[in-house]
Amino acid sequence: MRIALIGPAHPYKGGGARHTTELARWLSEAGHDVEIESWLRQYPAGLYPGGQQTVDVADGEPFPNTRRILSWRNPLGWWRAGRRLRDRDLVVFALLIPPQAVPYLTILSGLLGRRSRAGGPRTVVICHNVAPHESRPADQQLTQRLLRRAGAALTHGPTEAARARELAPAAQVTEVRMPPHLPAAAPVLPLSDHSARETLKTSDQPGPEPFEQCRLLFFGIVRPYKGLDVLLRAMARGPEQVTLTVAGEFWGKSEAATRALIDELGLTSRVTLRPGYVPADEIPALFGAADALVLPYRSATSSQNAWLAFEYGKPVVVTRAGTLADAVRDDVDGIVCEPGDEDDLLRALIRISAPGEAERLRAAVQAADPGRYWKEYLDALLSFVPQAEPGPDSDEPGLQPASR
C-alpha cells in the first residue's frame, strides 16, 4: 500500500514524534510504501507552553522519506498537501492536541474534495488524546469535526475509544495498545550491589522495620495531570530516606509553583529539580542514578515511561490512571497505587523503601519486546483498509524494524 503519515517527526521532540517515526519504520519494514508529511512550523508557541518545540539531535534515527513543508502560517499549503496525497491508499493523521484538527480538516478538503470516501484514500486519525489533559474552548468541537470527517479513529485504550465513539458515532473506532517507541536505546544497566547500599533506621516512621535509601526519578514534561504535587505531599509524610529527582520541562509557570511547594513541605534536601528537555544521550545517566521510576499521574491515556524504565532495568511506582499501569506487574516489577490518592502513594513509598524491596522488584524487570506490540498495532491500523494486502513480512513473528 501507499501510506502517508501526517504528524510530527524530527526535529520535533517527544513521544508523538517518536511514535510517528517508528510507525513509519515498521510499516516500511512490512513492505509498504510510506512517507511522513511533517511540519516546518507545527503550531504557535502559545499552544505549547513547555519550552522549545524542536531539538538539534534526534532521539533516534529519523525516517528517510520525510517531507517538512507544512506550516501553521500557510493554510494554502495544507490544502495543497491534501491534493498531493490523493493517490495514496491510506492517509493517517496523528492528533496530539485538538487545534491540530484545523490544518487536518483543510488537508482532508484537499484530499477528498467532493468525492465520496470510496473514491479517495482511506483516512484514519490516530488519537494520542481524544480529549486534552488541560482543555480549551472549542477543543471538543474540533476533535468531533475531525473524527466525523475522517470517518475512522485508532485509540490507545477503552476510555479513549468510548470518547471517540461518543463524539463521532458513525465513525469506525478501533482501540489497540500503544507499542514501545523509545528513545535511542542504551545498554541495560546491571543490578546494583545491595551490600554497598546503606540501610538507615528512623525513629518517627510507622512500622518496626528500618527504611533504605531509595532514589526515585520523575521523568518527562511536568504538567498538572501528572500528579507531581501529590507525590511531593506523600514524600513529606514518608520515610526521609526517599529522595527524588525531577527531570524534564515544566509546563507554563509550574516550575515556580513546584519550588514553592518543595520549600513549604521542607523537602529542599530531598528533591532535586533538573528543568529542561532531557536529550537521549543523557537518559542513561538519569536512570542509572535512580532506584525506581515514579509515575504519580492523576489521569493518563498512555505513556512510554514504564517501558523506558524497564529498558534500563528499573522498577516502577505507578498509578492506575488510564492504561498507565498496563505494563507493570504489581508486586513483581513495580508497585501500583490509586491515582490522586496521597495515602496510597505514601503506602507505595514505604513499601519500596523497605530493605531489599527495590532490588527484589528490579530482579523481575524485563525489557519489552516491541515486535509483538507493533504487529498488533499495524494489524489494527491496516484493518481500516479491507482491501489491503499484508506486506511480505507482516505475519512473521520475528519482524524487526531497521536500525533505530
pLDDT tens digits for 231-253? 999 999 999 999 999 999 998 88
In DSSP terms, which residues pair with 246 in a beta bridge?
A: 218, 273
pLDDT at 136: 73
Q: What is the pLDDT of residue 59?
A: 75
Residues 90-123: tens digit of each pLDDT: 999 999 989 999 999 999 999 987 654 556 899 9
pLDDT at 194: 39
Going by C-alpha positions, the residue among 334, 294, 340 that lies closest to residue 321 is 340
pTM: predicted TM-score of the whole model, two decimal places:
0.84
Say what the pLDDT of residue 114 is.
60
Q: Which fold has domain 2-180+369-382?
A: Rossmann fold (3.40.50)
**Domains 2-180+369-382 and 194-363 alike in fold:** yes
pLDDT at residue 245, rounded to an integer? 98
Q: How big is the CA angle at 379 (ends 378 and 385), to the nearest 5 degrees?
A: 100
Helix axes of 228-237 and 342-352: crossing angle, nearest 10 degrees: 60
* CATH C-level class of 194-363: alpha beta
pLDDT of residue 7: 95
Cα-only R_g, the chain: 22
Which regions of the chain are under pLDDT 70?
A: 45-51, 114-119, 134-135, 184-210, 387-404
The domain ranges of the chain are 2-180+369-382, 194-363
